[in-house]
């Protein structure tokens, strides 16, 4: 059994599907007989044709799902695959150095990487990622055995087998993560990447069990191996014996049945056993998630992370395009209600067009609203698009990573100015778009009173708040044990913020992952939280959980938790309370 970090709950038994890094660093392979060179060149050309066809389909699909300019990223991949210089260099490596097509591709890729590394300009240097993505795709076609569409690939293809498919990879590239959506993937295991990587976030929003940080899994698994993925415990079993397989299949069946039965609560109100109402909102990353939010019965979108729109573009999306996308988001959100967060780049999410600094601590550095003060136009464009989209539903604007009151004042002034300009230009917009502050830097929590005087609402971003509070990178498996939501420090800080909001009557939401985790949700409800925003997949179970307790019971739990001194005590206490409420809810909670 391998142990990693459970990043999306659930249990699945399925067959392994390896996402190979086909361009390895091994010794280049030469052809046994130089006379094979023309056949090898033809094989390479065929792989290029297949890659082109695959990318063309991909461009069309992404254009339909995310809009035409989101498809630009793959259009540029089409240019790379059809670049005559690339073809000529690979041909030459096969013919002159007598390399196999795959090795020739690898050698050319290494040469490109060295060439790109010397480029001064950030934007162009970063293009090497696209080149590698394309080369990997060609390589995957080259290493495929005839008639076996799944062998050794870098791209993710469809699969027709009976057993559910479990993706096993060193890491999942952004382009691969985007293609996860409509494939019958039932589990994901990666060697690197934490609970907030692209793949983990997408897995959670689609309810796919996932485990990351599983060192050495690629050395242990061959394609087609039977595997168990327990995304709750972070366990991965390769080639389980008969007993383990049967036991886990049973848990898997129960899990599916339970989730299905929970979805049946879609149209029921979210209330505690004694009738206290709560709002269960969804965290979304794209349009597809807005639909998912509606399917599971969220009453609105509590957090739309706009970064994903920017991550799929080669340049800053313009005001018209952003406006159209936000309009679609709000029109498709439950109750036409959405909180749109301004761009939260930096940290682990970078786009080449902003340039990358070599920062020793990117999470502590130039990220989020801090970027805007150097690039005000970027924010002004986004603010204008959000204000304009506000006419099509109930939209609020949320500023992430606020650290000081001065920052908030500058941002509020920018919103005011954008409104005045839109008015002067005669562009229609919604005057009543509310603005809010994300409390995710401890400094903001400590000075909450001062921030409350200048904002309409608060959203507690517990994912970041935890990592900054305990000084431990949320994506680093080595310190994952410190990034623990069930901890005395995080509950005390959140309690302080909630009390301040209650005193001033300011609407407050918790939108970090802990809002969707049963144990912590119970405590948050007991502390008086009435707005929870989470990955859509968790809404049915949090609704079921709240229906199983009274407000007074939850208040008692919260009061008790605030007296405890260690995470271990808190976990044990809450596990008992959860088991009393529902043993199945306890089993599927992943915190």
The side-by-side arrangement of strands in the sheet containing 2-3 is: 2-3, 235-238, 226-230, 11-19, 165-169, 185-190, 210-212, 5-8
Stretch that binds ligand PEP, among 203-211, 370-378, 460-468, 572-580 (CB under 6 A): 460-468
For residue 228, what is the enclosing H or E element?
strand 226-230
Q: What are phi and psi of 397, to 5 degrees?
A: -115, 135
Using CB under 5 A as the binding criterion, the count of chain residues that bind Mg ion stands at: 3
Question: Minimal distance in Å, beta carbon 440 to Mg ion?
Answer: 5
Considering only residues 496 through 535, tell me which ones interact with ligand PEP, judged by CB under 6 A. 511-512
* Count of residues touching ligand PEP (by CB under 6 A): 11
Give whichever of 511 and 549 is closer to ligand PEP, judged by the CB atom: 511
Cβ neighbors of 117 (< 8 A, separation 6 or more) are 125, 128
Cβ nearer to ligand PEP, comparing 303 with 529:
303
Handedness of CA 202, 348, 230, 509 (dihedral sign): negative
> Which of ligand PEP, Mg ion, none does residue 512 bind to, with CB < 5 to 8 Å depending on kind?
ligand PEP
As measured in angstroms, the least distance from the Cβ of 296 to ligand PEP is 18
Distance CA 386, CA 373 (A): 19
> Of these, 9, 231, 234, 461, which contacts ligand PEP (CB under 6 A)?
461
SS3 280: strand
Select the residue interacting with Mg ion from 317, 461, 477, 540 (CB under 5 A).
461
Question: How far, in Å, CA of 307 to CA of 530, rounded?
Answer: 27
CB neighbour list of residue 374: distance below 8 Å, 6 or more residues apart: none
475 is a contact residue toward Mg ion (CB under 5 A): no
Q: Residue 462 binds which entry of Mg ion, ligand PEP, none, with Cβ cut-offs from 5 to 8 Å by kind?
A: ligand PEP
CB of 464 to ligand PEP, least distance (A): 3
**56-79: buried (b, 16+ CB within 10 Å) or exposed (e) per residue?**
eebbebbbeebbebbbbbbbebbe
> Can you tell me whether residue 274 is helix, strand or coil?
coil
Q: Which is nearer to Mg ion, 435 or 459 (CB)?
A: 459
Give the residue with the Cβ less far from ligand PEP, 176 or 196. 196
DSSP per residue over 297-350, as a string? T-SSEEEEETHHHHHT-SSPPPHHHHHHHHHHHHHHSGGGEEEEEPP--BTTB-
- What is the closest distance, in whole angstroms, from the C-beta atom of residue 483 to Mg ion in the complex? 13
Q: Which does 196 bind (CB under 5 to 8 A by kind): Mg ion, ligand PEP, none?
A: ligand PEP
CB of 584 to ligand PEP, least distance (A): 27
The distance of closest approach from Cβ of residue 282 to ligand PEP in the complex, given in angstroms and rounded to an integer, is 12
Beta bridge partners of 3: 235
∠ CA 307-9-491, nearest 5°, is 75
Piece of 5-13, 227-235, 443-451, 458-466 that binds ligand PEP (CB under 6 A): 458-466
Which positions are annotated as active-site residues? Answer: 198, 511
Tell me the closest approach of the beta carbon of residue 464 to Mg ion, in angstroms: 4
Q: Which does 18 bind (CB under 5 to 8 A by kind): Mg ion, ligand PEP, none?
A: none
Looking only at residues 201 through 240 of this chain, which bind Mg ion when binding is defined by CB under 5 A?
none
- The position carrying tokens 């006419």 is 391
CA distances to 82, 95, 141 from 312, in Å: 21, 37, 24
Mark the segment that binds Mg ion (CB under 5 A) among 195-203, 346-354, 459-467, 572-580: 459-467
d(CA 399, CA 402) in angstroms, rounded, equals: 7
Rounded to 5 degrees, φ, ψ at 399 are -100, 120
Between residues 535 and 553, which has the closer beta carbon with respect to ligand PEP? 535
For the chain, how are helix, strand and coil distributed in percent, rounded to 5?
A: 55, 15, 30
> Which part of the chain contacts Mg ion (CB under 5 A), choosing from 153-161, 169-177, 229-237, 436-444?
436-444
What letter does residue 260 receive in the DSSP assignment? H
Residues whose CB is less than 8 angstroms from the CB of residue 290 and which lie 6 or more positions away in sequence, other chains included: 282, 284, 301, 304, 329, 332, 333, 338
Instruction: Transcribe 28-71 into DSSP letters.
Output: PPBPSSGGGHHHHHHHHHHHHHHHHHHHHHHHHHHHHHH-GGGG
Q: How far is the CB of 61 from ligand PEP (least distance, A)?
A: 25
Which 297-316 positions form the footprint of ligand PEP (CB under 6 A)?
303, 305
305 binds, among Mg ion, ligand PEP, none (CB under 5 to 8 A by kind): ligand PEP
Contacted by 483, from Mg ion, ligand PEP, none: CB < 5 to 8 Å by type = none
Site string for ligand PEP, 413-442 (x = CB under 6 A): ---------------------------x--
Residue of this chain nearest to Mg ion (CB atom) = 464
The nearer residue to ligand PEP, 214 or 510, going by C-beta atoms, is: 510
Shortest Cβ 475–ligand PEP spacing (Å): 11
- Choose from Mg ion, ligand PEP, none: what does 520 bind? Cβ within 5-8 Å by kind: none
User: Which CB atom, from 325 or from 573, has the smaller least distance to ligand PEP?
Assistant: 325
Question: What phi and psi values does residue 346 have, to the nearest 5 degrees?
Answer: 95, -175
Q: How far is the CB of 493 from ligand PEP (least distance, A)?
A: 13
464 binds Mg ion (CB under 5 A): yes
Phi, psi of 236 (to 5 degrees): -130, 125
Q: Would you say 168 or 438 has its CB closer to ligand PEP?
A: 438
Other C-beta atoms lying within 10 Å of the C-beta of residue 502 = 14
Closest CB to ligand PEP among 303 and 518? 303
The number of helices, as runs of H, and strands, as runs of E, in the chain is 25, 16
Site for ligand PEP in 462-481 (CB under 6 A): 462-464
CA angle 322, 391, 393 (to 5 degrees): 90
Which parts of 142-161 interact with ligand PEP (CB under 6 A)?
Answer: none
For ligand PEP, the binding residues in 332-391 under the rule CB under 6 A are 344
Q: Where does 368-441 have alpha helices with state H?
A: 369-372, 376-389, 405-425
In whole angstroms, what is the distance from residue 359 CA to residue 357 CA? 5
Interaction between residue 196 and ligand PEP (CB under 6 A):
yes
Residue closer to ligand PEP (CB basis): 212 or 463 = 463
Q: Which residues bind Mg ion (CB under 5 A)?
A: 440, 461, 464
Interface contacts to ligand PEP, rule CB under 6 A: 196, 303, 305, 344, 440, 461-464, 511-512
């Amino acid at each position: 059994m391998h142990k990693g970090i459970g990043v999306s709950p659930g249990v699945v038994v399925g067959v392994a599907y390896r996402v190979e890094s086909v361009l390895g660093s091994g010794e280049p392979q030469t052809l046994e007989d130089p006379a094979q060179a023309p056949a090898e060149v033809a094989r390479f050309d065929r792989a290029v044709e297949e890659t082109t066809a695959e990318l063309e389909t991909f461009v069309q699909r992404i254009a339909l799902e995310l809009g035409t300019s989101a498809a630009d990223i793959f259009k540029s991949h089409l240019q790379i695959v059809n670049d005559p210089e690339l073809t000529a260099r690979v041909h030459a490596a096969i013919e002159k150095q007598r390399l196999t097509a795959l090795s020739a591709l690898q050698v050319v890729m290494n040469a490109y990487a060295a060439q790109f590394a010397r480029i001064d300009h950030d934007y162009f240097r970063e293009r090497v990622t696209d080149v590698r993505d394309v080369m990997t795709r060609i390589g995957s076609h080259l290493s495929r055995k005839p008639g076996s569409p799944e062998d050794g690939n870098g791209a993710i293809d469809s699969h027709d087998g009976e057993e559910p498919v479990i993706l096993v990879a060193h890491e999942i590239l952004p382009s691969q993560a985007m293609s996860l959506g409509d494939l019958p993937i039932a589990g994901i295991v990666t060697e690197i990447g934490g609970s907030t990587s692209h793949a983990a976030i997408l897995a959670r929003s689609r309810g796919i069990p996932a485990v990351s940080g599983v060192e050495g899994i690629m050395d242990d698994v061959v394609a087609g191996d039977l595997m168990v993925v327990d995304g709750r415990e972070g366990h991965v079993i390769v080639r389980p014996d008969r007993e383990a397989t049967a036991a886990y299949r049973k848990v898997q069946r129960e899990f599916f049945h339970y989730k299905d039965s929970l979805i049946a609560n879609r149209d029921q109100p979210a209330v505690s056993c004694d009738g206290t109402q709560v709002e269960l909102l969804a965290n979304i990353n794209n349009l597809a998630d807005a639909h998912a939010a509606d399917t599971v019965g969220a009453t609105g979108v509590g957090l739309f992370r706009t970064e994903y729109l920017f991550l799929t573009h080669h340049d800053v999306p313009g005001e018209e395009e952003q406006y159209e996308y936000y309009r679609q988001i709000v029109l498709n959100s439950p109750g036409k209600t959405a909180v749109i967060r301004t761009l939260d780049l930096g940290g682990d999410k970078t786009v080449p067009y902003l340039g990358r600094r070599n920062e020793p601590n990117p999470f502590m550095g130039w990220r989020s609203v801090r970027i805007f003060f150097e690039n005000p136009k970027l924010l002004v464009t986004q603010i204008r698009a959000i204000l304009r989209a506000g006419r099509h539903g109930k939209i609020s604007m949320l500023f992430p990573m606020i650290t000081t009151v001065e920052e908030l004042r500058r941002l509020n002034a920018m919103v005011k100015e954008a409104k005045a300009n839109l008015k002067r230009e005669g562009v229609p917009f919604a005057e009543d778009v509310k603005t809010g502050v994300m409390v995710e830097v401890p400094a903001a929590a400590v000075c909450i009173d001062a921030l409350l005087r200048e904002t309409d609402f608060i959203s507690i971003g517990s994912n970041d708040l935890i990592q900054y509070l305990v000084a431990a990178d949320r994506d680093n498996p080595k310190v994952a044990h410190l990034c623990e939501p069930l901890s005395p420090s995080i509950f005390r800080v959140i309690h302080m913020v909630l009390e301040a909001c209650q005193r001033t009557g300011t609407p407050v939401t918790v939108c970090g992952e802990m809002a969707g985790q049963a144990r912590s949700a119970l405590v948050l409800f007991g502390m008086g939280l009435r707005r929870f925003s989470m990955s859509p997949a968790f809404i049915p179970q949090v609704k079921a959980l709240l229906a199983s307790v009274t407000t007074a019971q939850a208040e008692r739990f919260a009061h008790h938790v605030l007296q405890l001194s260690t995470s271990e005590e808190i976990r044990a206490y809450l596990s008992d309370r959860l088991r009393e409420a529902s043993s199945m809810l306890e089993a599927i909670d992943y915190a």
